[in-house]
C-alpha cells in the first residue's frame, strides 16, 4: 500500500493490518473560530472572512459532490482548491459513507449534519474561545458509541480554518512543547505569529504554558476550537468498540493531548492518518509533538501530485495546503479497503477528474456572477 509509517512502526503496521479490506464510516467534523480570521494565519479561504464558509462548503462537497454555501469550491487566496477534493475522491472510489458532525460553525451547511450543541469559536486572544465544551464532549461521546457499532472502523476528519493555531494553544496549555512544530496551510509557516496569538490567549486567561495540564476542558474553553471537543468525544465514545483513524495533521495531535488527559485508555485503539506533505514537512514536526505524551502511531498517505497535469494540483508539492478535511486518512482508508489495489496513481486520476469537473463549475459560476 502507498502508506508511509512516520512513527511507532509496530503499532502502525498492526493498525494497517486491522483495517485492511474493511469499510469505515467517514465523519467530517466542521467548526469555525474567529482565530482563523487573524491576518496571515490561514490559507483556508480566499480571504479571512471567507473562512466562515469553508467548513460548510467542505461538508457539502463531501455529501453532494458540489458546494452550496459558496459558488465553486473553497480555495486558498492563490486559487488552490480545498483538500476536501482529495477526500471526496478517495471516499467516492471506495464507496465509503459520510456523516457530518457540526462541532460549531457560524454558517450552517446546507446539508444534513449531526448536531452536538456546539457553537462557533471566538478569537483565542480573548482567552475565552469556546462555549459548552463539556456538553459537546459528552454528546459527541454518545454519537461515537453508537456510530462505532455501525461500521468496521471510523475515520474522523476536520475542517477548521485557523486550526493549527488553536492546536498550538491547547497543546501549550496542556504542557506539550509544540511551538515551531504545528503545521500550516502556508508554505512559509507563520510560527512567530501563532506563538504570539497563543501567548496573548493564555495571558488573557491568566494562564501560562502547561497550567491547564490535567484540565483539557478548560484548555479548549480558553484557547481551543469547537472541533476539538467534538472529535475528542467521538473518539472516546467509539474507540472502546472499534479502531479509529484520526484523519488530520497536527490539529489531531492537540485532540490526542485532550484525549490523553480525559481518557488515556482510549489511546490504545487509535492511529493518526495524514499525508506525506505533513509527515515530511520541514516546517513542522507532528511526531515530535505526539511522542511527548503517547505512542499512538502516525501513518501517512504517500500522495504525490508532482506528476499531475494540473498546476493547481502540482502546487501541493510546494507545501501549500498539505492536509485538511481528512484528506490523508480518507486516502489511506480507500487504499486499505482494496488492500492496496487502489494506489496513489489511481487516486490521483480520480482527484484530477474531480478537479477538472469542479474547476469547470467554479469557472462557470465565476463567469456567470460577473
Positions that interact with its own copies (CB under 8 A)? 23, 25, 63-64, 95-99, 102, 111-117, 139-140, 142-143, 145-151
Q: Are the CB atoms for 73 and 356 separated by under 8 Å?
A: no
Nearer to its own copies, 102 or 172 (CB): 102
Task: Provide the minimum distance between the beta carbon of 106 and its own copies in the complex, in angstroms, as a whole number.
Answer: 16
Q: Is 194 left (phi over 0), alpha (psi -120 to 50) or beta?
A: alpha
Q: How far is CA 308 from CA 84, 98, 305, in A?
A: 17, 27, 5
Q: Are the CB atoms for 301 and 345 separated by under 8 Å?
A: no
Task: Provide the minimum distance between the beta carbon of 325 and its own copies in the complex, in angstroms, as a whole number.
Answer: 16
Nearer to its own copies, 96 or 286 (CB): 96
Q: Are the CB atoms for 267 and 293 separated by under 8 Å?
A: no
Task: Provide the minimum distance between the beta carbon of 269 and its own copies in the complex, in angstroms, as a whole number.
Answer: 17
Task: Provide the minimum distance between the beta carbon of 65 and its own copies in the complex, in angstroms, as a whole number.
Answer: 11
Nearest 10 degrees: CA dihedral of 68, 35, 259, 119? Answer: -50
- 250 three-class SS: helix
Element (H, E) at 210: none
Q: At a CB cut-off of 8 Å and minimum separation 6, what does 314 contact?
A: 305, 306, 308
Residue 103 and residue 106: Cα distance in Å, rounded?
10
Task: Provide the minimum distance between the beta carbon of 143 and its own copies in the complex, in angstroms, as a whole number.
Answer: 5
Task: Provide the minimum distance between the beta carbon of 95 and its own copies in the complex, in angstroms, as a whole number.
Answer: 7
Nearer to its own copies, 79 or 97 (CB): 97
Task: Provide the minimum distance between the beta carbon of 159 and its own copies in the complex, in angstroms, as a whole number.
Answer: 17
Cell numbers placing 109? 451547511
Nearest 10 degrees: CA dihedral of 135, 136, 139, 145? Answer: -130
Task: Provide the minimum distance between the beta carbon of 51 and its own copies in the complex, in angstroms, as a whole number.
Answer: 22
Residue 206 and residue 218: Cα distance in Å, rounded?
12
Nearer to its own copies, 16 or 143 (CB): 143
- 7 three-class SS: strand
Nearer to its own copies, 67 or 96 (CB): 96
Nearer to its own copies, 143 or 257 (CB): 143
User: 113, 139, 21, 118: which is closest to 60 by C-alpha?
Assistant: 113
Nearer to its own copies, 111 or 320 (CB): 111
Nearer to its own copies, 97 or 311 (CB): 97
Nearer to its own copies, 230 or 321 (CB): 230
**Position of cell 456567470?**
368
Task: Provide the minimum distance between the beta carbon of 132 and its own copies in the complex, in angstroms, as a whole number.
Answer: 12
Q: At a CB cut-off of 8 Å and minimum separation 6, what does 330 contact?
A: 26, 86, 87, 90, 91, 96, 155, 157, 247
Amino acid at each position: 500500500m502507498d502508506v508511509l509509517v512516520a512513527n511507532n512502526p509496530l503499532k502502525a503496521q498492526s493498525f494497517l493490518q486491522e483495517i485492511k479490506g474493511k469499510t469505515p464510516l467517514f465523519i467530517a467534523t466542521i467548526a469555525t473560530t474567529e482565530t482563523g480570521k487573524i491576518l496571515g494565519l490561514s490559507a483556508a479561504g480566499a480571504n479571512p472572512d471567507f473562512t466562515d464558509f469553508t467548513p460548510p462548503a467542505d461538508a457539502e462537497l463531501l455529501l453532494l459532490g458540489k458546494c452550496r454555501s459558496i459558488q465553486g469550491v473553497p480555495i486558498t487566496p492563490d486559487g488552490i482548491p480545498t483538500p476536501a477534493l482529495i477526500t471526496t475522491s478517495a471516499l467516492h472510489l471506495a464507496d465509503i459513507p459520510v456523516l457530518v458532525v457540526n462541532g460549531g460553525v457560524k454558517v450552517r451547511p446546507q446539508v444534513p449534519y449531526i448536531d452536538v450543541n456546539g457553537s462557533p469559536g471566538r478569537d483565542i486572544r480573548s482567552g475565552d474561545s469556546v462555549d459548552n465544551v463539556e456538553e459537546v464532549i459528552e454528546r459527541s461521546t454518545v454519537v461515537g458509541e453508537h456510530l462505532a457499532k455501525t461500521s468496521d472502523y471510523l475515520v474522523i476528519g476536520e475542517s477548521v480554518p485557523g486550526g493549527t493555531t488553536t492546536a498550538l494553544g491547547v497543546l501549550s496549555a496542556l504542557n506539550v512543547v509544540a511551538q515551531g512544530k504545528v503545521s500550516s496551510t502556508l508554505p512559509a509557516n507563520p510560527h512567530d505569529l501563532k506563538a504570539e496569538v497563543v501567548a496573548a490567549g493564555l495571558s488573557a486567561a491568566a494562564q501560562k504554558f502547561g497550567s491547564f495540564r490535567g484540565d483539557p476542558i478548560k484548555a479548549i474553553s480558553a484557547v481551543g476550537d469547537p472541533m476539538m471537543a467534538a472529535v475528542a468525544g467521538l473518539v472516546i465514545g467509539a474507540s472502546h468498540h472499534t479502531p479509529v483513524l484520526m484523519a488530520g495533521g497536527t490539529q489531531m495531535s492537540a485532540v490526542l493531548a485532550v484525549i490523553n488527559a480525559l481518557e488515556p485508555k482510549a489511546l490504545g485503539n487509535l492511529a493518526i492518518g495524514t499525508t506525506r506533505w505533513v509527515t515530511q514537512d520541514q516546517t513542522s514536526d507532528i511526531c515530535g509533538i505526539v511522542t511527548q505524551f503517547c505512542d499512538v502511531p502516525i501513518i501517512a498517505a504517500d500522495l504525490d501530485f508532482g506528476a499531475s497535469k494540473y498546476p493547481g494540483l502540482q502546487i501541493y508539492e510546494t507545501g501549500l495546503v498539505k492536509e485538511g478535511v481528512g484528506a490523508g486518512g480518507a486516502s489511506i482508508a480507500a487504499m486499505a479497503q482494496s488492500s492496496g489495489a487502489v494506489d496513489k496513481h489511481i487516486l490521483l486520476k480520480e482527484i484530477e477528474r474531480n478537479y477538472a469537473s469542479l474547476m469547470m463549475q467554479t469557472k462557470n459560476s465565476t463567469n456567470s456572477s460577473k
